[in-house]
Amino acid sequence: MADEVAGSKRALNTGVQAVAAVVLVAGVTGGVWGLSGIVPDDDGTGRPATCAGEHGTPAAKRVSGAQLCRALNRSDLPVLLGTPDEHARTADGDDNWITLDGGTRIASPEAVVTLETYCVKLSASEDRFSVSQGLDLLPKAEPRQILGHPAVLSSDRTAASGSGGTGSGTARGLLVAKDPEGGGGSFEITVWRQDRAAPDDAALFRVAELVLPTVPGWRSG
């Protein structure tokens, strides 16, 4: 998986703002290409997958990939996605880091849960870029509100290669500010289907509304 992530320093200059713009776009779209080809690996037990052990080095005082995985891998996730007869087949969290020019390291934790029909990704960003600025940067972006927090809904194409063959599909991403004021970082939930059919926006919103308040760092109004 290859997510290109950048962030802002304490005082953003013009050059860093340009990098941050690239990051916001990559946050929603970058991971889809690497993950869309995942084929769930059921262990044959018929039991839902549990979150794997923590990978990477978690950032101090920031949400970890393992915490994101535990929040996303809910027992009712299949119901929220509209596939109640399915269960989580894989569940994992990673504490990725991106090193910028100059040596600055940016935490980029994420978690992915796969079912037979859907893949769901939850990631966190600690940059100070405004979520509302995504309206000018993300593909087919639309303004939204999630539990009183500013959000941006967007689409991207996926490239997949797996048991269903090769081809492209659509991923729907929801970028949501951690606090009601719209600053201080964001969370992103992205859903796409293994069969490359169009994902259900209602399912994406159901997941966001129940998962995000359980993630460390979410700030209610």
Lowest-confidence segment of 47-56, 72-81, 143-152, 205-214 by average pLDDT? 47-56
> What percentage of the chain's residues is helix, strand, coil (to nearest 5)?
25, 30, 45
Q: Is residue 152 domain-resident?
A: yes
Q: What is the pLDDT of residues 56-111, one digit of tens each?
A: 667 667 899 999 999 999 999 999 999 999 999 999 999 988 787 888 887 889 99
CA–CA separation, 34 vs 174, rounded Å?
18
Beta-carbon-side half-sphere exposure of residue 27 (alpha carbons within 13 Å):
35
Q: Is the pTM here over 0.85, yes or no? A: no
Neighbours of 54 (CB within 10 A): 17
Q: Is residue 9 domain-resident?
A: no
171, containing H or E segment = strand 165-177
Burial (Cβ within 10 Å: 0-12, 13-18, ≥19) of residue 108: buried
Neighbours of 69 (CB within 10 A): 24
Q: Is residue 221 domain-resident?
A: no
Q: Is residue 220 domain-resident?
A: no
Domain containing 124: what range? 14-214
Q: Is residue 1 domain-resident?
A: no
Beta-carbon-side half-sphere exposure of residue 140 (alpha carbons within 13 Å):
9
**Short-list 203, 170, 207, 192, CA closest to 82:** 203
CA–CA separation, 156 vs 192, rounded Å?
10
- Between 111 and 32, whose confidence is greater? 111
91, containing H or E segment = strand 90-99
Q: Is residue 219 domain-resident?
A: no
Does the pLDDT of residue 33 top 60, yes or no? no
Residue 81's pLDDT is what? 98
Q: Is residue 178 domain-resident?
A: yes
* Mean pLDDT, residues 38-59 taken together: 67
**Number of structural domains the chain divides into:** 1
CA–CA separation, 133 vs 37, rounded Å?
30
State the distance between the two ends of the chain, measured CA to CA, in whole angstroms.
34
* Mean pLDDT, residues 26-42 taken together: 45
80, containing H or E segment = helix 77-80
Assigned token pair, 83: 């596939």
Q: Is residue 69 domain-resident?
A: yes
